Amino acid sequence: MRKPKVLAFDVFGTVVNWHGSITAEIKRIQLPVDPNAFASAWRKGYQPAMARVRSGELPWTKIDDLHRMILDQILNTFGISSLSEDEKYELNRIWHRLKPWSDTIEGLTLLKQQFTIVTLSNGNLGLLANMAKHASLPWDLILSAEVFRHYKPDPETYLGVANTFDLPPEDVMLVASHKDDLLAAHQCGLQTAFIERPFEFGPDHTRNDLHQETFTNYHAKNFIDLAQQLQQSSQ
């Protein structure tokens, strides 16, 4: 396979540290819950909520609104009834201010010199734009499930990136820390790069899925490592 032309990045977990950002926010606003349990519960509602959209049970619904539906449920589960509407709106917007991993900015800047770098996230456009502005993420283009009106892992998302740039699928590489995402992209004909993010689910959670897979073209510790591997590649 030749080198890709466009790198499409998963965002939550791959580019930014959702667990660490949310637990820090929970502590900052002094919400009386276990920050780790609360962050994990919020994220755990994410796949089932998107599944309701993917199945057609819900009409197209932005991640901002899905995050809010899940937040309302878990506030109830955790027995929190003290937040005003404005406070709940602001807490939900923490997803717009997630912090990048320590290698993210340097790695993306290196990769941008060789490739067109874009997002391919289930996050909505406004969320991703606010996050990029807040964290200085140097995207060439922000692409989202919202553009394709399909959530990953629907094929319309991966093929949508190729179509956006009028390229065959093999000229696009998905970069992600989640193997289900990479497998779906691989099945659509994209190249794939796995990024180890051992602390994605928090410092106390041990990931057992960091081994190399046959369906990934690259396996990197972080974005700087990926940039070096791609630079050295003779493909």
For residues 166 and 204, which CB has a smaller minimum distance to its own copies in the complex?
166
Least spacing, CB of residue 1 vs its own copies, in Å? 22
For residues 64 and 196, which CB has a smaller minimum distance to its own copies in the complex?
64
**Distance (Å) of CA 190 to CA 4, 14, 155, 182:** 9, 18, 11, 9
**Count of Cβ atoms closer than 10 Å to residue 235 Cβ:** 9
* CB 9 within 8 Å of CB 117: yes
Distance CA 122, CA 144 (A): 6
Least spacing, CB of residue 104 vs its own copies, in Å? 18
For residues 58 and 141, which CB has a smaller minimum distance to its own copies in the complex?
141
Distance CA 113, CA 49 (A): 37
Least spacing, CB of residue 160 vs its own copies, in Å? 10
Binding site for its own copies (CB under 8 A): 64, 116, 118, 124-126, 128-130, 132-133, 140-143, 146-147, 164-166
Least spacing, CB of residue 140 vs its own copies, in Å? 5
Strand partners, 9: 119, 175
For residues 8 and 188, which CB has a smaller minimum distance to its own copies in the complex?
8
Least spacing, CB of residue 210 vs its own copies, in Å? 32
Distance CA 10, CA 217 (A): 16
For residues 129 and 210, which CB has a smaller minimum distance to its own copies in the complex?
129
Distance CA 147, CA 100 (A): 23
For residues 142 and 193, which CB has a smaller minimum distance to its own copies in the complex?
142
Least spacing, CB of residue 24 vs its own copies, in Å? 23
b or e along 26-58 (b: 16 or more beta carbons within 10 Å of the residue's beta carbon)? Answer: beeeebebebbebbbbbbebbeebbeebbeeee
